[in-house]
Amino acid sequence: MKKSPDQLRSHRWFGGNDLRSFGHRSRTKQMGYSARDFEGKPVIAIVNTWSDLTTCHSHFRDRAEEVKRGVWQAGGFPVELPAMPVNETYMKPSPMMYRNFLAMETEELLRSQPIDGVVLMGGCDKTTPGLLMGAISMNLPSVYLPAGPMLRGNWNGTVLGSGSDVWKFWAEKRAGNISDCEWSEMEDGIARSPGHCMTMGTASTMTAIAETLGLTLPGASSIPAVDANHARMATSCGRRVVEMVWDDMKPRDVLSAASFRNAITADMAIGGSTNAIIHLVALAGRAGIRLDLRQFDEISQRTPMIANLRPSGEYLMEDFYYAGGLRALLKQISGLLDLNALTVSGRTIGRNIETARVFNDSVIRSLEHPVASSGGTAVLYGNLAPNGAVIKPTAAEPRLLKHTGPAVVFKDYADLEARIDDEALPVQEDSVLVLQNAGPLGGPGMPEWGMLPIPRRLLAQGVRDMVRISDARMSGTSYGACVLHVSPESYVGGPLAFVHDGDLIELDVAERRLELRVDGNEMGRRRASWQPRPAHYERGFGALYAAHVTQAERGCDFDFLEAGAETAEPEIY
């Protein structure tokens, strides 16, 4: 049953015959619009995270105009609303601190203004979950417009991937194998177009997840940012959201336990970023669906990783698009998906992928010849991580997946920076590097410090991977035997806080175990003498964040933003 114009949410602002409605109409006309432009039409917000410092979104001014074109074509009235441009590159101490800020801003931007439907423009890591968390809570008809990956990097004929090749060649530079001049040439070639990181990092993972959840148009997440098809997709988003308003199709009509299972399955098949676990838990929480870390592990164990993309594989997102993109990958794993899950296209995901084909089976492998026989993420438990920790086994040297070694402990990142290359550091190839105070509260903001650098002395000996353990996150473009998201975090007195130099730590990925080999009495003594660190913030957003952020296994959302009673529509007086 289609809505009528007087049932539009914006009708409350524009449709009355009172003083307030006069103000709303006259101020819209102040911009040169006439009543014909907006009267009785769905008002479509284009929530744009463009900024001069959000370099992944540098094409968003053009894309916003292309969305507007679609909205006008379909009989809507487009309005562009700038939102917190959370970017991965510049925001300190960690952009993760601001994901919930963007979510709150998105929700309240929509609630407080005469909006009927929304196109959400994001892509750089935290923008996808931030925008979607807000949109799910507000629950107006919404389409997600993913920024699209940038083009392949290039350095003297060598293909460069965002992040992954930075870490790789930085290690070579520290080992003395790359000159300053070569390093500078790479700087010119690694990010050479608009778009988000083009490895299967957090950005590509989260946009693929948004598509699998059903919140983008079919195929949208794989289109390179500068491809003309991306501009056409933007216009289609504008057209489609107007239809969704008339049909009253909202995010929580699309999302279900099945769509989240599909998203986790896709995450494993693409070898997605470990960050996706935190964001998916938070997204599901906003939809009133509880995800347990064990669900990720179960799905990981039955899902082969078939996307041959860096950091776990060879290729980049541009290759993935030419190979058929996410639709083709989902077609390959369709037997593992619930094909009846709904999408914003108005069709099921099964219908959306019906005609998809793989054009390059080296990039998108078959189930018979996967990159890895099980998914990209394992969830670990043990006395060092009672509430869980994660590792990406496909990105680690296999010899380290079962390993016992003595701990070398860094109290925080400053301590790590100061001592990691110290010649006197008692570190060996079999040592386990431990970083404390890098979690949601300790970092603060759970920075992406989890890929601790290999000490220079060991690099020179040819060592390129070691077991590393922290309560931090890791960039989705990173790699190595890095145990992440240890919970509870050390800053709040989790067991990671009590690890001392020389303690033996046992990692067994096959058994999903992470154990500190220190007896219970000694742990009790260490716990009794532990002193919490002072708070990072006494005022402002930092203090709000610290008072309400949850631990990693709960998605690091704010406790007061998790699903609860509906917030009432604002009164209009």
- Whether omega before 393 lies within 30 degrees of 0, making that bond cis, reads no
Binding of ligand FES by 505 (CB under 6 A) = no
Q: What would the x/- binding string for ligand FES be over residues 125 to 164, using CB under 6 A?
A: x------------------------------------x--
Min separation Cβ 95 and ligand FES, Å? 9
318's tokens: 């541009």
Q: Candidates 58-66, 193-201, 246-254, 327-335: pick the segment binding ligand FES (CB under 6 A).
A: 193-201
Residues 52-111 that bind ligand FES (CB under 6 A): 56, 88-89
Supply the angle between the helices 127-138 and 275-286 in degrees, to the nearest 10. 10
**Which residue has tokens 């997600």?**
144
Binding of ligand FES by 463 (CB under 6 A) = no
β-bridge mates for residue 432, sequence order: 407, 467
Do the Cβ atoms of 444 and 97 come closer than 8 Å? yes
Q: Candidates 105-113, 194-202, 373-381, 466-474: pick the segment binding ligand FES (CB under 6 A).
A: 194-202
Min separation Cβ 196 and ligand FES, Å? 4
Residues in the chain: 573
Q: Which is nearer to ligand FES, 125 or 318 (CB)?
A: 125
Q: Which is nearer to ligand FES, 125 or 489 (CB)?
A: 125
C-alpha span between 285 and 34 (Å, rounded): 42
C-alpha span between 49 and 127 (Å, rounded): 8
Binding of ligand FES by 496 (CB under 6 A) = no
C-alpha span between 488 and 384 (Å, rounded): 9
Do the Cβ atoms of 485 and 282 come closer than 8 Å? no
Q: Which is nearer to ligand FES, 164 or 295 (CB)?
A: 164
| Secondary structure class of 386 (helix, strand, coil) | strand
Binding of ligand FES by 196 (CB under 6 A) = yes
Residues 408-447 that bind ligand FES (CB under 6 A): none
Binding of ligand FES by 124 (CB under 6 A) = yes
Do the Cβ atoms of 412 and 536 come closer than 8 Å? no
Q: Which is nearer to ligand FES, 49 or 487 (CB)?
A: 49
Do the Cβ atoms of 152 and 321 come closer than 8 Å? no
Residues 201-230 that bind ligand FES (CB under 6 A): 201, 203
C-alpha span between 436 and 440 (Å, rounded): 12
296's tokens: 């990720």
Q: What would the x/- binding string for ligand FES be over residues 334 to 373, using CB under 6 A?
A: ----------------------------------------
Count of residues in contact with ligand FES, rule CB under 6 A = 10
Q: Could you list the residues that contact ligand FES (CB under 6 A)?
A: 56, 88-89, 124-125, 162, 196-197, 201, 203
